[in-house]
Structure 1
């Protein structure tokens, strides 16, 4: 009854009656079994040596899974001075009371006038069951009142179950349902049918992506001026979606116990034109074990019927992607960050490949197996995929694996084929990309930021901004140092990272030199100094600008190198070599510009020896950065040529 309780909590009781009747008929089977077991317990207590009845088939037919305590209830029964003593009598009365409520609900709580006599009898027997005490057992009169079937002896629980069953059969005939494109419908108006079909068209388009997972059962009916559509999504008790359509408006109520999955579904629906108006936390004693869950409402307003049908179709197609969403998110987070995992699931939903195929094909085991088999130098046990490949490449690999898993399972090919594809995809990715250079690219970005700050300081020469410029430069230099330390740590574990360490050490020399130049510039404004002379500032600006341009070329060269492979395009190789050639020419030009700066400093700042000395050191630091760039360029060229065979 939990799904029905959830729908009732969402305020749409008109959808409940067929579900209530189905649940009531199942409860009827269990109640008859529980009463038979009580009679069997009494027989066992009277004749302990008699051979007991095998109830296993009845348990299966009634859908009773926890049978141990029921079998013990029978085996442990005995009479004490005529009183039937039963272990688990309290548990027996609890499940009987729950099923009695379930069985009576369609008859006693439906929109039709409830029979007062059945309501009174139900309430009386619920009170009777609550009053049973396992310490006191069952008096003979109580046992008879529960189990006898003779009306002349007065009412009994057995008789009430029989009468409720008759009423249920009548009610079931009155609400006989039709199946419309897979939806259970009743009481529809003619204009409702195309709307239900539109919803089911979207649902059926993506429903195969849930594979064998239960869920997506849909019911629809008319409630006064509104069409109501309900989808139970999955097996969770509060995971329910109810849609109302009235005139040109679709209003959706959705409940979910996972706030993250709720936000994911919000995002999916916003893209198709729904606006969320309500989001609250709710709780119910019979739902989600009393824990809070999230309830939200979204609205779509269409201009015509075609817009309504399109929105309902798009909505139906999105529902499958929330099934087992949280399980997939947790498994993906073993390889990428939380946001990356959510973005992956969103992309899988948007491109309609989903995540269930990946989960069913092995999920995280696929990835771990591929990591261990493709390259022992690349991966070590305990390492995350994104730590080795980088977040973007790791996400791309996982998405490709999710897509291929879905395709293979939908084609009913062997699941082992997915494991082979996982290894092939990862091996191909490792051949195509040099992931070690991701750190160098990030390092180059920080170096570029420091160089821009040096140029800005020389251009503006504003004493008011000096301290802030120096702080920014120092922070960026520390971030660059941290990246070098990461490279060294990885090199201790993997030999393939060792060449990168040497390359990044050259790059770090560039960042250090530029940060020193920025610091020296701040010293030029410490009293009694008043900064650079105009004559000295101009060649220093040209020197800094040329170094900045060379760093921009380094950033370009690293980006090209990151994606070059053995089968790389010739144009990529040419662009890479041309970029490195510009870095070489920039270093030669910087040598010349540094000498011009020294001459200008001597000629225009002779009156301030300390300032001239600091300015000379600044020019030397920038020129040192250009030397470091040349070393980085040569090391990068050697690495790329060794990997790809690029020739000049």
Structure 2
């Protein structure tokens, strides 16, 4: 490291040089991070020559390194065996690293804040390879790039510590506050761009409430305006924006790859070119031992477009704060893909997620589920995924709007609970509505069978049978929806069992319509035919009473009263009574068929027709019993 005395003597009475030194040191920090990434990527390429690795050209250009020969380092790396690797241009890389370290040390020495940095650097530089040497041991590369403090000191760890010191000095040296950004060494044109960026930051900053983060610094580094935002509390979560001419380069580091991709999605309407993310290993001082780096570039059409982009960029940062924690907590209620979609909606609509979790987050939802006795199934299975997403979008908006306008926390929490209870009731209503619609198709089918028997016209019977097949297809779609999209949590099998039982009734009626087309046109079994019409009429009334059962059950579920319960009990009892009546009518019909059928064909057609109609009423009776048991079970809760 450059001797302290000569530097202090040179800088002792020229404090105005310190900001330039800090600037240069931070620029050197960006370059040295590129060199570390280059060495790590080259080593990975040597170990896995069959895989594809980036040349890191974009990262080199972003860091301000001009040596184009380094773009071939990754592809030229080789595993020499015995833990030794060939790294092309290693001598140039290490010379550049040494120069960067010296540049980073200058402002620290000038302020007398070197701590033990010079001693650590001296020890770490011992045993460096001779000039021109490209064969490097794994142990030596670890001394350079390791981020794990448990494994001993490394150049990477020293750079991390020095960078923290430099950031602290940068804040102290700030000469001007521009709308909350600490700035220094700006040129006149830079201030407009910083204000544009801060306009976005300040527009959405209230959505972080009391959460720390969004600290911004800005400075001029040669031809570039550099803006840095600390986002939140995570050490490895940093956003650096480089502006040169009409081009904006975004360098985003994060320990969570999903959040990195989420951030990129916030620019879907802007033509940002994102490079493939790079993963880097660090030490235990971070939440995770690996962090990811993403670089994006945007070239503005003109200066107003540049300002607009910077404003948009600044306004998106708040939505990264505690994003991963929010995603994990929402996963208690939604699939991961839907969680990310909800958080994306919250960012696009500028409501965010922090307000909801400040209010208690998932505890509010669990309280509402306990009130409704709906704790057996994930919420997205109770409501269906689309409605569950719609509910959480409303929740995030309500929470943010409520806290921003000063509503009491308890009021907002109660609104969220009440709305969920409404959704749960709505889910019941929707599912019952599907079952009622399905029953309406059963009624149509029963009427069609009865009409075919009354008309005694083969063509009419064929047309009726065709209609019933169409209705049966529509009914199958309703059954599918009830089975797979929405299930009631307190009794997940109830609606599926209900519609399955009633759907069997429709299957029997479809079969009956087929047999009605087989009645011989010259059939003389008048008594049997009359008895068949009686069986069909009972089935028609049975299906109508079953629909009344479902409608009255819905009213009982909304709110119990003696009158509503009486209506339900009368309707369900009527279904059961009509099933018995149909059974008696079937016996009488069979006797008539046996007396009047002239041949086996006529007997088979009439018998199967009568039995199919009777079976439909048995299925409706079973469905009515399921509904009856569910109502009484719910009253116990």
| TM, length-normalised to structure 1 | 0.48
